[in-house]
Amino acid sequence: MNIDDDCYWIIDEEKLCDYERMDYTLPSDSQFREDIILYKMGLNDKAQEAKAYLEELQRKDKHLREQHKK
């Protein structure tokens, strides 16, 4: 990336950091979502049902938050 005539970044010279898994992950980490687990198991129909259920819960929570604001 050049700005004016100065070079600030060259993508080919950029080194990517190695991903390092932590010893402990939070229970809220997205890898523990039921729909993702089912999807990884190849149970796509069940994963879709779990995702739809989660989205419905999120819509209900949003509705309750909006009611509470009023």
pLDDT tens digits, one per residue of 29-58: 888 899 999 999 999 999 999 999 999 999
Query: Which distant-in-sequence residues (6+ apart) come within 8 Å of 39 by Cβ?
Result: 47
* Domain presence at residue 33: yes
Q: Indicate whether this model's pTM tops 0.85.
A: no
- Tell me the H-state helices in the chain: 34-40, 44-69
pLDDT in the model for residue 25: 83
pLDDT in the model for residue 18: 60
| Structural domain for 52, as ranges | 28-70
How many folded domains does the chain comprise? 1
